C-alpha cells in the first residue's frame, strides 16, 4: 500500500530539504502543488521553516515560443553554471496550458539530457494544475524550497503563451527571452508587450546556415528595443545571439546576467524589486483568498450565472448586482 503523502514530519521535511535531499524536496513540492487542503496547510508549515534559508539565489526566467529551443538552451546553460561556475541549478517550468501526466517528468528529463544527469542540478516539470493562479503560487513556493535546499540559480522556464510571462516576471530577478529568427519580419514573432518585460533577448539557433539570418534578426530587434523607454532598473534591454547546439554565446549570456545583477545590486533595484515582489504577492494572495472565499460560497455560483445574464442584457446595473451578491456572501458567512 502506498504511504500517505505526508508520512514524514515537518521537521524531517525541513531537515531533508536543508540537506538537499532531492527525494524529500520533490515530495515537498508535490505537497505545495497538491489540491488537498490538508496537504497545502502542511506544506505551509514546511515553507515557514524554510523561509529563513531562502532568498539567496539568482532567479532567472527563460521564456520563448514553442520551438525557440528553451530546453536545449537551459540544458547547456545550466550545465555551464554547474561545471564552470560551481553553481547549483534548479529548473522549474511554468506552463499553465499543459495537462501533463506523470510521463512528462520523463519528458523533461529527456529534453534536458545533460542537466538531468547532473548531481548539482534539479529539474522539476510544471504541475498539471490548469489555473495560472495555482501555478503561480506553487512556483513561488517551490522557489523558496529550492533556495532552502541550497540551489543558487533558479531557472523558471515558461512557454510564451497567455499571461504567464507577466506572472513569471513578478517572481524573478532577470527575464531572458529566447527568440528564433524567422521570416525577416522579426517583431511579428515576438509577443505583444514582451519586449517591455525582457531584460535580454537572445536569438537562438545562431549556427550553420542560420548565422546570417540570426545576426540580421539581432540587429532588427536591437533597433526596436532602443525605441522603447529604459526600464525602472536603469538597464537597457540587451540583444544577443547564441547557439545551444554549438554551445556559442552561452557564456556571454551568463556574463551579462552577472553584469545585470551587479548593476542592480549597486543601484538598489535588486532589493527594491524583491521587496515589491513580496508585497505584491501578499496583496495578490489576499485578493485571491477573498475571491476564493466568495466564489466557493454555496449559492453564489448559481446567483452569478443568473445575474451575469441580466447585466449583459442591461436589465440590472453592475453596482446593484455586486451589492446583492456581496450581501448574500456576508450573510452566509454569518450563518456558517
Q: Give contact residues for a copy of itself (rule: CB under 8 A).
A: 40, 44, 47-48, 51-52, 54-55, 137, 140-141, 144, 185, 187-188, 192-193, 196, 224, 227-229, 275, 278-279, 281-282, 285-291, 293-294, 307-308, 311-312, 314-323, 325-326, 329-330, 333-334
Question: Among candidates 190, 179, 244, which has minimal Cα distance to 215?
Answer: 179
Q: Report the residue number, 1 or 227, with the smaller CB distance to a copy of itself.
A: 227
Q: Which is nearer to a copy of itself, 61 or 195 (CB)?
A: 195
CA distances, 115 to each of 75, 91, 158, 220 (Å): 5, 9, 17, 33
CB of 183 to a copy of itself, least distance (A): 12
H or E element: which one contains 179?
Answer: strand 174-180
Smallest distance, a copy of itself to C-beta of residue 188, A = 6
Contact 188, 197 (CB under 8 A): no
Shortest separation between residue 121's beta carbon and a copy of itself, angstroms? 25
| DSSP sequence for 16-78 | HHHTT-HHHHHHHHHHHH---HHHHHHHHHHHHHHGGG---SEEEEEEE-TTS-HHHHHHHHH
Pick 99 or 317: Cβ nearer a copy of itself? 317
Min. distance of Cβ 78 from a copy of itself in angstroms? Answer: 26
Strand bridging mode 89-94 / 200-204: unpaired
Q: Which is nearer to a copy of itself, 177 or 257 (CB)?
A: 177
State which residue, 37 or 102, has the beta carbon closest to a copy of itself.
37
Please count the other Cβ atoms lying within 10 Å of the Cβ belonging to residue 51.
12
Tell me whether residue 336 is exposed, middle or buried, using C-beta atoms within 10 angstroms of its C-beta: 0 to 12, 13 to 18, 19 or more.
exposed
**Shortest CB 87 distance to a copy of itself, Å:** 22
CA distances from 314 to 45, 302, 309, 318, 327 (A): 48, 19, 9, 9, 21
Q: How far is the CB of 190 from a copy of itself (least distance, A)?
A: 9
Which is nearer to a copy of itself, 103 or 314 (by Cβ)? 314
Amino acid at each position: 500500500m502506498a504511504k500517505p503523502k505526508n508520512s514524514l514530519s515537518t521537521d524531517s521535511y525541513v531537515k531533508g530539504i536543508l540537506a538537499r535531499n532531492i527525494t524529500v524536496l520533490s515530495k515537498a513540492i508535490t505537497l505545495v502543488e497538491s489540491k488537498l487542503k490538508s496537504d497545502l496547510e502542511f506544506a505551509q508549515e514546511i515553507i515557514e521553516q524554510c523561509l529563513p534559508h531562502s532568498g539567496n539565489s539568482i532567479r532567472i526566467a527563460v521564456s520563448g515560443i514553442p520551438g525557440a529551443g528553451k530546453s536545449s538552451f537551459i540544458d547547456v546553460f545550466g550545465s555551464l553554471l554547474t561545471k564552470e561556475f560551481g553553481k547549483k541549478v534548479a529548473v522549474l517550468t511554468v506552463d499553465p496550458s499543459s495537462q501533463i501526466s506523470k510521463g512528462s517528468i520523463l519528458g523533461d528529463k529527456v529534453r534536458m539530457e545533460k542537466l538531468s544527469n547532473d548531481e548539482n542540478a534539479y529539474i522539476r516539470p510544471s504541475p498539471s494544475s490548469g489555473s495560472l493562479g495555482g501555478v503561480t503560487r506553487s512556483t513561488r513556493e517551490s522557489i523558496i524550497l529550492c533556495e532552502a535546499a541550497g540551489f543558487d540559480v533558479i531557472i523558471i522556464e515558461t512557454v510564451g503563451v497567455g499571461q504567464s510571462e507577466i506572472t513569471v516576471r513578478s517572481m524573478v530577478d532577470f527575464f531572458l527571452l529566447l527568440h528564433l529568427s524567422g521570416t525577416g519580419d522579426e517583431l511579428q514573432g515576438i509577443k505583444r508587450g514582451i519586449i517591455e518585460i525582457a531584460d535580454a533577448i537572445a536569438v537562438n539557433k545562431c549556427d550553420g546556415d542560420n548565422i546570417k539570418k540570426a545576426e540580421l534578426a539581432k540587429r532588427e530587434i536591437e533597433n526596436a528595443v532602443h525605441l522603447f523607454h529604459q526600464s525602472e532598473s536603469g538597464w537597457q534591454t540587451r540583444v544577443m545571439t547564441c547557439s545551444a547546439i554549438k554551445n556559442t554565446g552561452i557564456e556571454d549570456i551568463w556574463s551579462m546576467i552577472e553584469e545585470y545583477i551587479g548593476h542592480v545590486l549597486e543601484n538598489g533595484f535588486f532589493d527594491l524589486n524583491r521587496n515589491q515582489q513580496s508585497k505584491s504577492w501578499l496583496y495578490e494572495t489576499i485578493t485571491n483568498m477573498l475571491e476564493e472565499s466568495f466564489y466557493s460560497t454555496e449559492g453564489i455560483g448559481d446567483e452569478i450565472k443568473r445575474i451575469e445574464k441580466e447585466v449583459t442584457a442591461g436589465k440590472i446595473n453592475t453596482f446593484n448586482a455586486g451589492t446583492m451578491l456581496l450581501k448574500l456572501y456576508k450573510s452566509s458567512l454569518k450563518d456558517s
